[in-house]
């Protein structure tokens, strides 16, 4: 009897596992190489990207959406393929290297590459998904001279993108586009800094 009960429990647990949807994994994508408009300069600056901070709510594997009643949904079966903060740093570094072909970019920590001339410190305040509405991005940033620690430039970026399709694949594409727009804002700020 106990053996038959064990078989029933095993069958029940297997059927439960089989009915669970597979987990989908997502990554943010960088800009296309084709949009590079910057001209190369004779002397390359070395620029560090980071440190970058993101809201504690987003420091998890699952994608998070914000609902109108100030609640959130955590998508257990829709997850980032790598830590979100690391993915953001990689995308911004790649984007800026694409936009600013005359400069060298390194992701924080860059000690393995030696020193940098400038660093861009980024505090992401919002990277919110509102289903069937839009995606909000708000960040403050500062460009600092690495040796003197002097503040060279700073700003606050606010980007909203409409979300026509609330599928997670579309959401991640919109998040990637927002990072592309933010990268272009940072690129314009860097162009104003003399060599």
Q: Which two tokens stand for residue 145?
A: 């001279």
Least confident window among 61-65, 83-87, 112-116, 179-183: 112-116
Examine the pLDDT at 102 and tell me if it is beyond 60. yes
Q: What DSSP designation does 37 have?
A: -
Instruction: Burial-class residue 161 by CB neighbours within 10 Å (0-12, 13-18, 19+).
Output: middle
Q: Could you tell me what percent of the chain has a pLDDT over 70? A: 84
> Smallest Cα–Cα separation from 148: which of 170, 116, 187?
116
Q: What does DSSP say about strands 72-80 and 62-66: parallel, antiparallel, or unpaired?
A: antiparallel
Q: Which domains does the chain have, with CATH numbers?
A: 23-191 (3.40.50.10610)
**Which is more confidently placed, 8 or 87?**
87
- pTM of model > 0.75: yes
> Smallest Cα–Cα separation from 108: which of 184, 118, 100, 95?
118
**Which is more confidently placed, 36 or 139?**
139
CB neighbour list of residue 174: distance below 8 Å, 6 or more residues apart: 135, 161, 163
**Which is more confidently placed, 36 or 69?**
69
What sections of the chain are H helices per DSSP?
2-18, 84-99, 168-191
- The number of angstroms, rounded, from the C-alpha of 82 to the middle of its chain's C-alpha atoms is 10
Q: What DSSP designation does 22 have?
A: P
For residue 19, how many other CB atoms are within 10 A of its CB? Answer: 7
């Amino acid at each position: 009897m106990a053996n038959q009960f064990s078989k029933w429990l095993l069958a029940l647990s297997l059927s439960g596992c089989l009915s669970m949807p597979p987990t989908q994994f997502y990554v943010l994508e960088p800009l296309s190489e084709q949009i590079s408009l910057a001209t190369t300069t004779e002397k390359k600056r070395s620029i560090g990207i980071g440190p970058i901070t993101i809201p504690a709510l987003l420091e998890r594997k699952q994608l998070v959406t914000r609902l109108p009643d100030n609640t959130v949904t955590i998508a257990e079966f829709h997850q980032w393929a790598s830590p979100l903060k690391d993915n953001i740093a990689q995308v911004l570094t790649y984007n800026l290297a694409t936009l600013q072909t005359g400069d060298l970019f390194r992701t924080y920590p860059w000690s393995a590459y030696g020193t940098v001339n400038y660093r861009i410190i980024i505090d992401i305040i919002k990277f919110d998904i509102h289903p069937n509405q839009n995606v909000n991005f708000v960040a403050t940033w500062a460009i600092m001279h690495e040796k003197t620690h002097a503040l060279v430039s700073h700003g606050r970026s606010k980007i909203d993108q409409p979300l026509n399709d609330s599928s997670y694949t579309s959401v991640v594409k919109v998040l990637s586009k927002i990072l592309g727009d933010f990268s272009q804002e940072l690129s314009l700020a860097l162009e104003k800094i003399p060599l």
